[in-house]
Amino acid sequence: MSNKESIELFHDYGVCYETKTIKCFGEINKERRDQVISNLHLLDQKTGEVTILLSSEGGCVQSGLEIIDAIRAMKNLVRIIAYGEVSSMASVIMQAGDRRCMMPNSFLMLHEGEAELKGKRKDRKEWGKLQEHQEKVTIDLYYDRIKEKKPRYGKKKFIDKVEDKDWILLPKEAVELGLADEILETY
């Protein structure tokens, strides 16, 4: 594959096979999910760490959870590098990485997610079960990472921080709390 072809693949499909890098920029939705999961499966065929470059305002909870499942199913280690804004569902996705890095001018934004209830009114109870499950999974992903670094940090304290408000974490704060592993100058 020529250098030009490799560059075109990266710009058109968000994947560079030679460097095992995936670009996940923009809203987390069904299209982004399909692209990221396809690229993860492609790069997992080759031995060595996979890197995801992540910059997103967040998006669909279910699509994000599907990306997380794909990351966790990888044979290879996954490094996620935060660029700029990594908010909402994107900040949850970041927690699935084996190595979580932040660029100096990036930030995480955490908050209590909102899942859209679907279906007919009589089905709301069933869809409510799914929403409760999604909320529990996302809170647990954050909290499990925090507990690794700060074993005495209470779950209620974390929930109080994200309930009904946005919580912005700059790189140093994210590393101190355990939601990132390091701050990169270059990679």
Full residue range of the structural domain in which residue 175 is found? 3-183
Give the three-class secondary structure for 22: strand
The whole-number pLDDT of residue 112 equals: 76
CATH number at residue 112: 3.90.226.10
The whole-number pLDDT of residue 1 equals: 59
Task: Note the pTM of the prediction, 2 decimals.
Answer: 0.88
Packing angle of the helix pair 61-72, 30-43 (nearest 10 deg): 10
The whole-number pLDDT of residue 93 equals: 98
Give the three-class secondary structure for 113: coil
Number of domains present in the structure of the chain: 1
The whole-number pLDDT of residue 156 equals: 86
Per residue in 78-93, pLDDT (tens digit) is: 999 999 999 999 999 9
> Which stretches of the chain score pLDDT less than 70?
1-12, 113-123, 187
Q: Do 42 and 72 contact (CB within 8 A), yes or no?
A: no
The whole-number pLDDT of residue 4 equals: 61
Token pair of 180 as six digits: 């990132």
73 phi and psi, to 5 degrees?
Answer: -85, -5
